[in-house]
Structure 1
Amino acid sequence: MTFDDGHLWAPSFWAGMAGAWIIILAYILDRCIGDPRWIPHPVIGMGKAISALERMIRARVKTNEGLTRAGLLFPLLIAGGSFAVTWGVLLLLGLIHPIVSGIAEVILIATTIASKGLRDAGMEVYRHLKQQDFAAARRALGMIVGRDTAHLDEPEVVRGTVETVAENIVDAIVSPLFYALIGGAPLAMAYRAVNTLDSMVGYKNDKYLHLGWASARLDDWANWIPARLTAMLLITGAWVMKLDAKGAARMVTRDARLHPSPNSGFPESAVAGALGIRLGGHNVYHGVSSFRAYMGEPTRPMEAEDIVQTTRLMFWSAGAFVVLCFLTVLVVRLTGGTLLWP
């Protein structure tokens, strides 16, 4: 098989696969070292920029109508700015040498994903549960969820951990890699900015109902395709791991849309069906009880090992998506198509 730029096995052909190699290396880098605390993380800068923009808006805008219009500034300035800054940095580094730019792109994409961090957070809760240190398990869970955890029993701690890991397979792994596949580090960084905006101002409460609406809506749109891809990956992963793949597919079909989020129900219902457990129920936020629709069927009581199984499903799904990214680039190259990057 030959192409305009040479034989299938020619170096020029595989050099054209640079986007695939960058994504693979970025995932491996995150899987191995995660986000070391001694390295400044881009999300910290995004958070400071969001807080500064919010202070500036609130100092000048006092009406709900004005806040609604001003809410558009968050996606435009924060997400747009993240894209532009990343693109500019890579352009300048590319003037030094393409390899320098490629290395920087690997590192930047790695900062947008959090497979190791998500796994470590879940397994910390698991270790405390296995040691029967329930107070420590509740504190560890409280570091990764917004709900009150001080009085949760063991099954509820497990539920909170499984729900958080499952939901974040989309936000922390599949979505940033999905956008990296489309537009490299600039688009992946823009997605991370959108996700950070949602976590800071995308709340449906009195404080952010008007100011944060655009950020929340954009986050929903950005995760729409990745959430559904994640559900399919989890169903396939359940089959590979000899879990209940049929149950996962059935629960996605039946329960995913019951979740208040248009996207989070897809990974959570898939995991619930695969493990044969029921997620959802009553959560307490700042002393106020809130009910979230049930997902899955409780074929057995939840146990600490469900955290381990969820983590394994997460890694299987993440690895499968990285392979899918590679195959997508390969097919585009084989068919003579072009990619938006690099």
Structure 2
Amino acid sequence: MPAHIIAIAIGMVLDRLIGDPPNWPHPVKWLGTTIGNLTKLLNKGRMRTVKGGVLWLLICIGTFVLVIWFISIAYRLNIFAGITAEALLIAAGLAQKSLRDAALLVYEPLQSGDIKEAREKLSWIVGRDTEKLDESAISRAAIETVSENTSDGITAPLFWAFLLGAPGLWLYKAVNTLDSMIGYKDDRYREFGKISARMDDLFNWIPSRITGVLIILCTPNEGGRPVKQRISGWLRDAKRHMSPNSGYLEAATAWQLNIQLGGSSTYRGILSERAVLGPPVVANMRHIRSTIHQMQVVSWIFWLLCTVIGVVFYAIT
């Protein structure tokens, strides 16, 4: 069995048990600092799309090569050192526990009736304005975040880890971090972040759709609707979403939990109207826990599916 498949299994367990301790150094923070510094240097003057492409190449190729170099040194020492180093890098690139914990920080004050604290904790994980949200709107925002990040934070990194090991996972993390920092359509980043946004769409295309299928087929269905109806609604609504990938996750969650997602939100005081997804049933705090459970089930099934495919591929080649 390839060493990186063993490392991925260990990394999954470590992420589930330990997650990202807040006081530990994290490679994403280093990526963010580097991207921020280079953006200040490059995002000005003419040819901003080209400069944004240069930034993308520097960050992504640099990250990929650096991780290859690091784990190569570890594997040269011995197989155990290599697997350990790769497993730690993989665990650091996954977000199952941190996503669960972040959602529970919103759920728990809602459960105790402290809507003010729930709004504050929600503001830590979403970009929308939270000051005036009621229970339903808070729940919807948390559900959408967990649903979208099931792919961004777990299954997509796993997908690239199975293809290319820890270097592949961190190549994806570099792509995703670039998009989250500069992949906007405002005046400041429209040209400079264009390539980063397009590449993030490309890197997420396959994992997001596989994850959506697993949500529909492998997690509890709370609406009692037949699978054919849920698949039809999922595929229809996913295409209405402004993101070519996030729609396949949020629409799957909406139809599987029998709730409505999307609609109106405000960002820095500006109203944003997004496509309405799913049946016309209002979300509530209970659905936050359902979405956490859904995320955990899909994460482990995705890992198992990729492991089986990887082992079979290794056995026949």
TM over 0.5: yes
Instruction: Tell me the CA shift for residue 18 of structure 1.
Output: 2.6
Per-residue deviation, residues 243-287 of structure 1 (Å, max 9, x unmatched): 656254232111001111000000100010011111001010000
Aligned match of 2:45: 62
Distance 1:19-1:95 versus aligned 2 partners, 3 A rule = closer
Distance 1:73-1:243 versus aligned 2 partners, 3 A rule = farther
Per-residue deviation, residues 174-203 of structure 1 (Å, max 9, x unmatched): 000000000000110010011000010000
CA distance in 2, matches of 1:153, 1:302: 11
Distance 1:259-1:114 versus aligned 2 partners, 3 A rule = same
Aligned match of 1:221: 202
Aligned match of 1:179: 160
CA distance in 2, matches of 1:71, 1:325: 33
TM-score between the two structures when normalised by the length of structure 1:
0.89
Q: How does 1:69-88 map to 2 (within 5 A)?
A: 69-88=50-69
Aligned with residue 251 of structure 2, among 256, 265, 269: 269
Pair 1:291-2:276 in alignment: no
Pair 1:53-2:35 in alignment: no
Aligned match of 2:101: 120
Aligned match of 1:97: 78
Aligned match of 1:3: none
**Residues 122, 138 of structure 2: 8 Å contact kept:** yes
**Residues 4, 166 of structure 2: 8 Å contact kept:** no
Pair 1:37-2:22 in alignment: yes
Aligned match of 1:152: 133
Per-residue deviation, residues 22-58 of structure 1 (Å, max 9, x unmatched): 1111111101100012221000110011011112214
- The alignment partner of 1:71 has SS state of helix
**Residues 148, 283 of structure 1: 8 Å contact kept:** yes
Q: How does 1:205-216 map to 2 (within 5 A)?
A: 205-216=186-197
One-letter code aligned to 2:261 = L
Distance 1:82-1:138 versus aligned 2 partners, 3 A rule = same
Per-residue deviation, residues 286-334 of structure 1 (Å, max 9, x unmatched): 0010100000012x33211100001111000001011112101121133
Aligned with residue 250 of structure 1, among 232, 235, 248: 232
**Residues 19, 329 of structure 1: 8 Å contact kept:** no
Matched residue count: 316
One-letter code aligned to 1:121 = A
Distance 1:239-1:124 versus aligned 2 partners, 3 A rule = closer
Distance 1:242-1:302 versus aligned 2 partners, 3 A rule = closer
Aligned match of 1:330: 311
One-letter code aligned to 2:101 = D
Aligned match of 1:134: 115
Distance 1:241-1:276 versus aligned 2 partners, 3 A rule = closer
Greater mean deviation of Cα atoms: 241-250 or 177-186? 241-250
Aligned match of 2:242: 260
CA distance in 2, matches of 1:148, 1:96: 50
CA distance in 1, matches of 2:82, 2:221: 37
Instruction: Tell me the CA shift for residue 120 of structure 1.
Output: 0.6
% same residue: 39
Greater mean deviation of Cα atoms: 192-201 or 67-76? 67-76
CA distance in 2, matches of 1:69, 1:96: 41
- The alignment partner of 1:322 has SS state of helix
- The alignment partner of 1:279 has SS state of coil
Instruction: Tell me the CA shift for residue 123 of structure 1.
Output: 1.1
One-letter code aligned to 1:113 = L
One-letter code aligned to 1:200 = M
CA distance in 2, matches of 1:22, 1:286: 42
One-letter code aligned to 2:14 = L
CA distance in 1, matches of 2:154, 2:290: 17
**Residues 167, 264 of structure 1: 8 Å contact kept:** yes
Aligned with residue 231 of structure 1, among 182, 191, 212: 212
